[in-house]
Structure 1
C-alpha cells in the first residue's frame, strides 16, 4: 500500500526474480498483485462515495467454504436478496493444447460456482439472480471451446432457475468486451481485440443495460448485447463474402426467448475465485504454426510471445544441423519474429524486418523440448524483437535462463509493400546443377533444399530455386501458413555461401545477420524463382551480400539488403 513508482518497480523486479526461482511465470505472479491493488482502489472509491462495501474471498466451487461465507454475510449484512455471478476463467488456445485441469477449472468457475450459489440460497428470498456470460457462449470464439461451453451452460442454468423459482428474476447476460474493467483491458487482450476492429462497451452503458433489465417487466432469460447487427465474425475467421445480416432478423430474436440490445460483439475473462465483471478474448496465436501464446511482459509496454522448440519433432531443427547438433536457422528466427508481431497486431502487414543480428547460436537438444519467447517492445523505428530462451551445457544443465539469441526490428503498415521488379538476366553459357553436400559441418536436410542451379560470375551470381510446401518445415504443427519464406530464403543464403566458397577464399560462410528483409508476397508451392545476388563487401572475417528473388511472373518476391556471413575455416 502507498508505494510510489520506484517502489513498484522494485517490487516487480523482486517478484520476477522470485517467480523464476520457483519456476513460475513472472507475468502471472505480477497479475495477482495487480488484482489486489485494483481491489483496494475500488473499495477506496466506494468508501469516498459513502458506500459501505465488504469483500469476502472464497472459492465458489468449494461448497462448504461458500456456505460459511454466505452465512457470515447474512449475520453481518442481513438477508441476501440478490446474486450477481460473474466469476470465470478463460485461457484461449487450440483444443489439442488444452489441459484437462484447465478445462475443468474453466467450466467449474462458472457452472459449479453457479450451482453452489443456487443451492445455498434456496431458502433466501431472492429478488434476482443474474449470471454474467459471454457472446462467445452464443457464437463461439477462436480457442474458446471450453469457455464457450461454460458460458452457454450457465445460460441454460438460468433458464431452469427461472422455471423453478418464478418469483426470482433469473437471467444471463451475454456480454461483449467491457471497457476499463475486466480482463478485456489487459494489454495483450485489448490490442488483439482492437486490431480485430472490436469496440469496447463503456462501464456506464453496461450498468445501464443491467439496471434496465432488472427494472423492466419482461421475463427474457438470456440478454445478448451487440454493437451492431452484422455477421458475428468476432474472430475475423469467416469468409469475407458473407452477405450482410438483415437487421430485421435480429428484431425477431425475442420470439426465441432472447432480448437484443446494442454494444460490441466480444468479451474477455476474469479470474475464477469470485463473482466479478469479466471479459474473454480469442487466442491470437491459434492460427500461427510456431507461437503458443501471447502474454504481457514485466516491463511497461513489453509483450512476450511464448513458443517451444522440439528438435525431435520440428523438421526445421532436425534437418538443419551444425556439426551434428540441431541449430535454429536465421530464416526461422525471421519467421518467429513475424509470427510474434502478427499475434500482437493481427490486422497489420509486416513491411520490413531490419537490423537482424545473431547474438548467440541457438542449439536445441533433441532429448528435451526447449521453451523460448520473443520479447517485443515499441520503439520509434518499429517493434523491437528479441528471441530469448534457456541455455544448457552438454550435460543438459541449465547455465542461463534467459540467453539472448537473435534480435531485430519489425516495421508494420496497412498493406504489404510492392517491390521494384528487376531483370535477373541469364547465364552466359549454362547453369551449374547444385547438389547439397552430405558431409559438411553445415547440414541442410530435404525441407531446406530449394536451391537447384547456380551461375558464377564476377561480383555475384544467379541461382534457380523451387519453392517447397511450408508443411515440410513445420511437420505436425498446425496453422494457416508462414509470413516469410524460410526454405527459399535459406536457399538464397546457401547460394551466396557456395559462390563465396568457390570464388573467394574457399571458406565456409555462417549467417551472422542482415540489414533489411522485405517480402511482397508468399511464393506458390512449386514456383520456380530466379535469384540475383551481389557481393557488396568482402572482408577478412565477414562478407556482405545484397539479393533479389524474382518469381515466375517476373515480379520481385523478396529483397535482402546487407546479408552478413561470417567466414570460418574447416578447422575453426
Structure 2
C-alpha cells in the first residue's frame, strides 16, 4: 500500500492483546514511522484500526467497535479526502467475512467495519483503504502482526481481503445468478400451515409492497411493526389528495378556531396524514389478498414493549415462524460532516432493530429470517457510511444465523439496489440514471423477494439490482478514480526472473513481467471480472536493477480506473521509477466474460519456409539470447521463413515459477518474444528487443506439463523495426493466448539498456 513509508505518521489503534505493538515494531524495522496508540489523532497520515481484535465479552462491546471506528474515520476524514493517506481496519470474522467460515458469535457485530472502508474508498479517492478479516485461530500476537504486515507490504489493491488459518488469502467476489428469474416465477414455499411473520417496516414503502407480493402467494398472518401510530385524520382533509390542498384546509380550520400553526408543524401534520393513509391502504390491500394482519405501532428497538404487544397475538395465532426486517432510516452526509448522533440514529435502527427481533423470538420456531440490507453494504456509497456499516452487520449476522439454525430455517440478507415504481422521486431517479444505475421495477423486485424467501438452498447474502436489455445487473453507477500501489524489486540473486534476465550484464525487468503485474493488479481491483485483453504495452525505459547499494528498488504503479458499475472496467496503468520516470504503460480491459475464442489459429506463412538449423543449446549460449534457465522455454525450433516462424515451447523445473494463477505465465510469453528476436537474427542478422505490444489476450490456460506450439507471423517495417503476431497453441491445436502487433526494435550489439 502506498502512503505507509517516507515519514508518514502511522497510528495503530491498540488492541490490548499485543498485536498493535508487534505490528508497530515490524513496520519500524521496515522503515515506517509507526506507533501503537490508544486514540487516533488528526495528525495521522495512516490509520491501522485494530480495535476489533480486542477481547470482547458482550454483544454491546462488539457493537461499540463500529461507533469508535466511525469516530476514528471522522477524525481523519478531511485530511484523507484532501491529501490522501491510508485507512485500514482489521477484524476477525472467520477470515472470509463470514462467507466461508463461521465467525465467532460476537464478532459478527463488528462486521460494519467493511462498510465503513468501502464507503471511505468512495469519499476519499486519493486515499488507500483496506478491510482485512484475519482469522486469529492459533496465532500469537507476533504471528498475527506479521500476517497483517505482509498484507500491507505485499498485498494488492483489493479493498476486502480475508487472511485465513493456514495462510491462505481470499477476497469476496460477486457471482451473477442466472437462476434468479426462474426462482422468481416459481410457486410458494410449500408450507402446510399459515406462517406467522413479524415484519418491521412492513406497513409502508418497499417492504409493504414485498409483503403484499408474498401475501398473494401464501396468505400469511402478519404482525406489522411501525413507528407511526394510526390516527383518524382531520375531517377537513378527507377527500383532499394533494399536499397544498391539505395545508390550506388545516390553515383555514386553525384560523376559524383562532389558533396559529407554524410552517414546520403544518408540514408534520400533513406528513402524518399521508403516512396514515399509506398504512391504512396497505393494511386493506393485505386483507383483501387473504392475509390476516395486525399493525403494532412500536419502536422496533424497544424489546420490552414489543414483547408485551406480542402476548395477545401469540395467544391467538401461536408462535412467530418468521422475521422480515425492513425498517431503516437515512441521514446521508460525508464521513467528515456526519454527526455521531446521526450515525447512531441510522446504525441503531437497523442493527438494534435486528437484535430486538431476534431477542423477542428466541424461543419461537423460526423457519424464515429475511433481512432487507442494501447494496451500499457490498459496494459502499458516498454519504452512507452508517447505512453501509449497519447493513454489513445484517449480512454477517445472517451468515451466522444460517449456520446456527441449520437447514430448517431459510436465512436471507438481500442487498437491494434502488427501487422504481413510485419508491424513488423523479429527481432521484434522474440522478440514478445519470450514474448508470438501473432501478429495480416494483413487480420484479417483489417477485425476487418472494423467490428468495422460498429458496432454501441458495446463498445467504444476495445482491439484487435493476436490469437493462443489453447488460447484466448494475449495482452501482459508472465511476472514475486513480489509485496507486508500490512495488519493491527483490535482490536479483534471489529472484530467478531477474537474475536470469540480464542484458549487458545487468539484471533488467522483462517486458512480460511488467505486463504480468498490470494483469494481476487489474484482477486484484476487480476480482469478479475477467481480463479480456492487455493493450498498448509500451516500453518507455528499461528497468535496470542496480546492485551496488543493495537497497530494494521501489516502483510506483498508477492506475486510471474507469468502470460502468459491474459489467466492464477499463484500466490504464503506468509503472514509474523513484524519480517519476515512466518505464512501462499499458491498458487493461475487463468484462464479465472474455471475448470469443478464435476458432482458426494464426496460419504459418508458406513463403520460404524451411526447418531451422539451430538447436536450443545454440541460441541459449549467449550469442543470440541473453536468457538464463528461468526463461529457457524453447524446446525445439521447428520452422522458419521470410514471413514467420514456429517453435515448440515447454516448462521444466527451472521455469515452473512462471506458472501462477491470475497472471500471464511470463516465461512462456517471453518465449514468444524470444522467437521473434531469433527470427529477426536469422532473417536480417540484427539483434532486437521488444518496445511495444499491441495487445495480449488469453483464452485458456497454457499447459504446464505439455508442449506448446508458438507460431509467429512477422514483417519488417522500416530500417529499425519488426512487427509480429504470435499465437500459442496447445496439443489439441486450440488457441491458448495471442500477442498482436509486437514491435521489436534493433539495438546495438552491446545491448546496453539505459534506465
Rate the CA distance shift 1:113–1:566 in 2: closer, same or farther, 3 A. Answer: same
1:196 aligns with 2:375: no
Counterpart position of 1:383: 571
2 CA distance for matches of 1:373 and 1:416?
Answer: 28
Counterpart position of 1:489: 669
Counterpart position of 1:464: 648
Task: Give the one of 251, 254, 276 matched to 2:405.
Answer: 251
2 CA distance for matches of 1:516 and 1:386?
Answer: 16
**Would the aligned equivalents of 2:508 and 2:543 in 1 still touch at CA under 8 Å?**
yes
Counterpart position of 1:521: 700
Rate the CA distance shift 1:484–1:228 in 2: closer, same or farther, 3 A. Answer: farther
Counterpart position of 1:445: 628
1:413 aligns with 2:591: yes
Rate the CA distance shift 1:554–1:438 in 2: closer, same or farther, 3 A. Answer: same
1 CA distance for matches of 2:627 and 2:679?
Answer: 17
1:542 aligns with 2:724: no
Rate the CA distance shift 1:379–1:142 in 2: closer, same or farther, 3 A. Answer: closer
Rate the CA distance shift 1:571–1:469 in 2: closer, same or farther, 3 A. Answer: closer
Rate the CA distance shift 1:507–1:189 in 2: closer, same or farther, 3 A. Answer: same
**Would the aligned equivalents of 1:469 and 1:525 in 2 still touch at CA under 8 Å?**
no
Please give the secondary structure, in 2, of the residue aligned with 1:372: strand
Q: 1:132, CA displacement in angstroms?
A: 4.6
Q: 1:458, CA displacement in angstroms?
A: 1.9
Rate the CA distance shift 1:354–1:110 in 2: closer, same or farther, 3 A. Answer: closer
Counterpart position of 1:55: none
1:186 aligns with 2:121: yes
Task: Give the one of 196, 202, 210 matched to 2:352.
Answer: 210
Counterpart position of 2:26: none
1 CA distance for matches of 2:670 and 2:98?
Answer: 33
2 CA distance for matches of 1:60 and 1:214?
Answer: 31
Rate the CA distance shift 1:175–1:261 in 2: closer, same or farther, 3 A. Answer: farther
2 CA distance for matches of 1:132 and 1:351?
Answer: 44
Please give the secondary structure, in 2, of the residue aligned with 1:210: helix
1 CA distance for matches of 2:676 and 2:61?
Answer: 70
Rate the CA distance shift 1:552–1:60 in 2: closer, same or farther, 3 A. Answer: closer
**Would the aligned equivalents of 1:176 and 1:226 in 2 still touch at CA under 8 Å?**
no
1 CA distance for matches of 2:32 and 2:515?
Answer: 34
1 CA distance for matches of 2:493 and 2:750?
Answer: 28
Q: What are the within-5 Å matches in structure 2 for residues 151-550 of structure 1?
A: 174-177=109-112, 181-182=116-117, 185-187=120-122, 192=159, 196-197=173-174, 204=346, 207-210=349-352, 213=355, 250-251=404-405, 263=413, 301-310=481-490, 311-366=492-547, 367-378=550-561, 382-390=570-578, 400=579, 402-417=580-595, 418-422=597-601, 424=603, 430-432=611-613, 433-435=615-617, 436-440=619-623, 443-454=626-637, 455-468=639-652, 472-473=656-657, 481-504=661-684, 506-550=685-729
Instruction: Provide the TM-score with structure 2 as the length reference.
Output: 0.44
Q: 1:531, CA displacement in angstroms?
A: 2.1
Rate the CA distance shift 1:365–1:212 in 2: closer, same or farther, 3 A. Answer: same
Please give the secondary structure, in 1, of the residue aligned with 2:571: strand
RMSD value, Cα: 5.2
Rate the CA distance shift 1:227–1:510 in 2: closer, same or farther, 3 A. Answer: farther
Q: 1:142, CA displacement in angstroms?
A: 8.2
Rate the CA distance shift 1:422–1:501 in 2: closer, same or farther, 3 A. Answer: same
Rate the CA distance shift 1:508–1:108 in 2: closer, same or farther, 3 A. Answer: closer
**Would the aligned equivalents of 1:452 and 1:463 in 2 still touch at CA under 8 Å?**
yes
Q: 1:313, CA displacement in angstroms?
A: 1.6
Rate the CA distance shift 1:469–1:103 in 2: closer, same or farther, 3 A. Answer: farther
2 CA distance for matches of 1:512 and 1:352?
Answer: 18
1 CA distance for matches of 2:536 and 2:50?
Answer: 48
Q: What are the within-5 Å matches in structure 2 for residues 79-94 of structure 1?
A: none
Rate the CA distance shift 1:226–1:336 in 2: closer, same or farther, 3 A. Answer: farther
Please give the secondary structure, in 1, of the residue aligned with 2:640: strand
What residue ranges of structure 1 are gaps of 5+ in the alignment?
Answer: 1-15, 33-57, 63-87, 92-96, 119-126, 156-170, 235-244, 266-298, 391-399
Q: 1:111, CA displacement in angstroms?
A: 5.5
**Would the aligned equivalents of 2:646 and 2:711 in 1 still touch at CA under 8 Å?**
yes
Greater radius of gyration (CA): 2
1 CA distance for matches of 2:724 and 2:117?
Answer: 51
Rate the CA distance shift 1:103–1:226 in 2: closer, same or farther, 3 A. Answer: farther
2 CA distance for matches of 1:546 and 1:528?
Answer: 20
**Would the aligned equivalents of 2:602 and 2:727 in 1 still touch at CA under 8 Å?**
no
How many pairs align? 393
Write out per-residue CA displacement over residues 354-407 of structure 1, whole angstroms, 9 at most, x where no aligned residue: 1110011111134332222321113599210111232xxxxxxxxx2x221100
What residue ranges of structure 2 are gaps of 5+ in the alignment?
Answer: 24-28, 38-47, 67-89, 123-128, 132-157, 161-170, 177-325, 329-342, 363-368, 379-398, 416-478, 564-568
Counterpart position of 2:150: none
Q: 1:131, CA displacement in angstroms?
A: 3.8
Write out per-residue CA displacement over residues 465-491 of structure 1, whole angstroms, 9 at most, x where no aligned residue: 1145697446xxxx9524212111211
Write out per-residue CA displacement over residues 92-147 of structure 1, whole angstroms, 9 at most, x where no aligned residue: xxxxx9999999887963466979xx9xxxxxxxx965545699634223899xxx
Rate the CA distance shift 1:544–1:218 in 2: closer, same or farther, 3 A. Answer: same
Moved more, 106-115 or 312-321: 106-115
Instruction: Provide the TM-score with structure 1 as the length reference.
Output: 0.56
Q: Indicate the structure whose relative CO is greater, using CA pairs within 8 Å and at least 6 residues apart.
A: 1
2 CA distance for matches of 1:405 and 1:446?
Answer: 25
Moved more, 309-318 or 427-436: 427-436
Please give the secondary structure, in 2, of the residue aligned with 1:547: strand
Write out per-residue CA displacement over residues 163-201 of structure 1, whole angstroms, 9 at most, x where no aligned residue: xxxxxxxx76524447874555425659756971399x9
**Would the aligned equivalents of 2:545 and 2:553 in 1 still touch at CA under 8 Å?**
yes
Q: 1:570, CA displacement in angstroms?
A: 1.4
**Would the aligned equivalents of 1:308 and 1:370 in 2 still touch at CA under 8 Å?**
yes
